[in-house]
Every structure is written in structure tokens, then in C-alpha cells.
Amino acid sequence: MFVDQAIITVQAGNGGDGCLSFYRAKYLPKGGPDGGDGGNGGSVIAEADPHTSTLLDFRGTHHWTARNGEPGRGSQQYGAYADDLVIRVPPGTLIYNDSSGELVADVNAGDRVVIAKGGKGGFGNEHYKSSTNQAPRNTTQGVPGERKQIRLELKLIADAGFIGLPNAGKSTLLSTISKARPKIADYPFTTLSPQLGIAELDSGRRLVCADIPGLIEGAAEGAGLGHDFLRHIERTRVLVHLLDSTGGPAGTPAECYKVIRKELADYSQELAEKPELIVLSKTDLVLDGPDQAVRDLRSELRLGHDAQVIPVSSAVGDGVRELLEATWAVVHPVEDPKGWSV
């Protein structure tokens, strides 16, 4: 089950109290102060786990509490420090303070972030001894650990994001280029959550691709499933925009293209300006052939010569290799000796 949002409460451990104690032994009734300090409470730490891809664990457990530090003891024994509580989240997780809306951390691969700091242990009376204060009776209590209600929000990290209207062929393409097995059927919204797949061009080149559930008109305002998953496209490096070459309820491929482009711009101008590849899918079903379908699309959208349109048939494999190479070229541009991308 794919879960990309969760609200949890984190409680760091309290510091242990300092100890009030005096050394006592036979023939030594007035020994000096020997109360030890308390130990520090454990912090709550968020760590990116590359083997985790969902926030499902946080839907069932809403409270995450670190242990308290031990109190100090006599004979100059300091309380033990509590271990930190590490919560593992998928790379690409945003952590917000749910009360203020402030972004606490953006956790990516290899990151380890303290989100609630443990309390410091209190001082025992031994801490206060001096030449002028040889029998101190003052101690301090441990500091309470931080408590926060936080919101976790996952944004998938992928090289390429497959976007388009429902039934544009995104899931079929993903299953063709990778070992991912998303649900495929001849009705809309068969994909209910983003799916990740890894496409291997050769032994040294791999692309992480994300199949984003079908967008519809009004997605930026919450219509359909798109509003929940548009944010996952924000971290992709290139948008692969699939258009059903046979048309559909939304009209011609060009009309479908305009619908999705409007939703991207309404949601985020930055998203609308991402690099894009236009793909005509299901070209094996076009009666006039893929070349004519590409010419018609170019004409209707008035595309320039630099705008690439790639005809693809995932069912028979036509154009798939060309699409992967074009995607790789956008994700990993080659630079000439002067530093210009080519």
C-alpha cells in the first residue's frame, strides 16, 4: 500500500535529574558531596532509508517516543544517556511542523536529521562543590525533551515522470521498460498510486521512472486523483508526456496535451517549466501510421523544429529505445569543452 502523507507526534526523552548525595563510610561521617549528574534524554532522528518507499509505518503508529535519561546516583555515578530513537523514512520525505507549517527538514539519501532534541541531564550536587562550598545541597532537574506534532509528506525522486490523461499508456510503458508491474486495464484510473521502475539502457546506464496516476482537467484544484500526486512530479528531472495517438474522450492528442499543460501551470509555474518530452503512444493502432500522427500533432500544436515528438508503441516495442535514449540525453546532458550543454 502506497502512503505518502502522515501526521505523527514525536517526543524526545527527558534528561535525568541530578542526585543529592554525600559520601558516608565508617570513621568518615562527613564525606563530601558525591551526587552524579543525570543522563541526557534520547533525541528523535529521521534517517533516509533507501529500502523504504512509503510512509505506511506511520499510519498505524502515531506516537514516537524516545527514552528518558537515567537520574544520577550517589558515589559519583552519572546517569546513563538514553539511545536516540531513529525513525526511517523514504528519501524525498519533507518534514513539517504541523502547527506552524514550517519546513523542518528535507530528508534525502544519506541524510540523518534531528527533529526533536532530547533534554539535557540535570546536575548532581557534586557539580557544585568548591573550596568555598564544600557541602552543596543544590541540584537541578533534567530538561524535558522536545515534543512536536509533525507532518510527513513524501515526494518521489525520479529521473523521469510519466504524465498524461488516464489510459494514455503510462503503466504499459513502465512495465515494458522495467520490471515494475503496475495494474493495467482498459478503464480509467487503473493506477491509484505512483509506481517506480528502473529502466536499464545498458550495464552502466539506468533511469528511475515514475508512473504518475492519470491527471484530468481540474486536477490542480483537486479533481480526480491528480491533486494528490502532482507533487510527485516536482522532483523528476524530465516530464515524459504521453498522448494517446488514437484520441479519447478529451479529444485529439493535441487537445489532451493542452489540458495537461494547463493543469501543470495552474499547480506550479516551476513544474510547467521543467524539461519535457512529448510521446505519442499506441502508434500501432493508428491507421495512417505514426509519421502522419506526428505531423498532425506538430501542426496542431505549432511545434518548432527543436521540440521532439517520439512515436511509441509499448505493445510491440517500437520507439521505446529511442525514448529511453532521448530521456537519458535530457537527464545527463553532455558538455562540450567550453562548458556548454549539448
pLDDT in tens, 15-32: 999 999 998 877 777 778
**CA 316 vs CA 90, 169, 185, 245: distances in Å:** 35, 13, 17, 15
Start-to-end CA distance of the chain, whole Å, equals 41
> Buried b vs exposed e over 290-320: b needs ≥16 C-beta within 10 Å?
beebbebbbeebebeeeeebbbbbbeeeebb
- Treating both helix axes as pointing N-terminal to C-terminal, what angle do 253-267 and 226-233 enclose, rounded to 10 degrees? 80
Torsion region of 164: left, alpha or beta (phi above 0 gives left; psi -120 to 50 gives alpha):
left
Give all domains of the chain, ordered by start, each with its CATH number: 1-154 (2.70.210.12), 160-331 (3.40.50.300)
Q: Is 217 exposed, middle or buried (0-12, 13-18, 19+ CB in 10 A)?
A: middle
Percent pLDDT > 70 in the chain is 85
pLDDT, residue 181, reads 62
Instruction: List the grid coordinates of 41.
Output: 534524554
Q: What is the pTM of this model?
A: 0.65
The gap from C-alpha 246 to its chain's centroid, in whole angstroms, comes to 35
pLDDT in tens, 68-105: 999 999 988 999 999 999 999 988 888 999 888 889 88
Q: Is 117 within 8 Å of 42 (Cβ atoms)?
A: no
**CA 121 vs CA 33, 40, 285, 336: distances in Å:** 18, 5, 71, 58
